[in-house]
Amino acid sequence: MTQVSPNYPLTLAGRFLTLDGSFATLRAVQQAFRRDLIDVQAAVLDLRQDEIALLLALATGGTADECGALLLDEVGVTSPAYQMVKAHLMAWLAVAMSPKADREAKRKSMGELIGRLENPPASPGPSTRRSPSASSAGRRTRSGAATSGK
């Protein structure tokens, strides 16, 4: 089996970036966020924009100000692309935290997940609009018996 690097490629606002998955970078992430990597990964969706900029800066070797400006000015922090940045950061951490022997499979599964997020199916499935619901099935009949337990 080929040993896969813990680094993660990311194209962001037309720029090709490499998210470094080395131990030194992962240690710097833990120190900056004062949390274990698993906790950082779990919190990515809830991180503020400045924290996402810091995480991206630590991962790429850039500065938080540069990454924050890129996110704000070119990606847009209210855009779906910004949410995808968060998904990519979570995937990067998942790959980087995997043992060498498992990285190829983890990278493949993360790539498939990101692919589904970036290119959702054309149809979410059949409509349930014409399905009977509780309210359209008519009124419930009442027995008249007390339900208070007395």
Q: Which residues of 80-96 are buried (b: 16+ CB within 10 A; e: fewer)?
A: eeeebbbbbbbbbbbbb
User: Which residues are CB-neighbours of 45 under 8 A, at least 6 positions away?
Assistant: 86, 90
Helix axes 23-33, 80-97, angle to 10 degrees: 120
Of 51, 45, 27, 47, nearest in space to 37 by CA: 27
pLDDT at residue 85 in the model? 94
Give 12's strand partners. 15
3-state secondary structure of 51: helix
pLDDT digits (tens, 9 = 90+) for 21-62: 999 999 999 999 999 999 999 999 999 999 999 999 999 999
User: What's the pLDDT score for residue 1?
Assistant: 45
Q: What is the pLDDT of residue 36?
A: 96
Q: Please give the residue that has the higher pLDDT: either 136 or 80.
A: 80
pLDDT band at 132 (very low <50, low <70, confident <90, very high): low
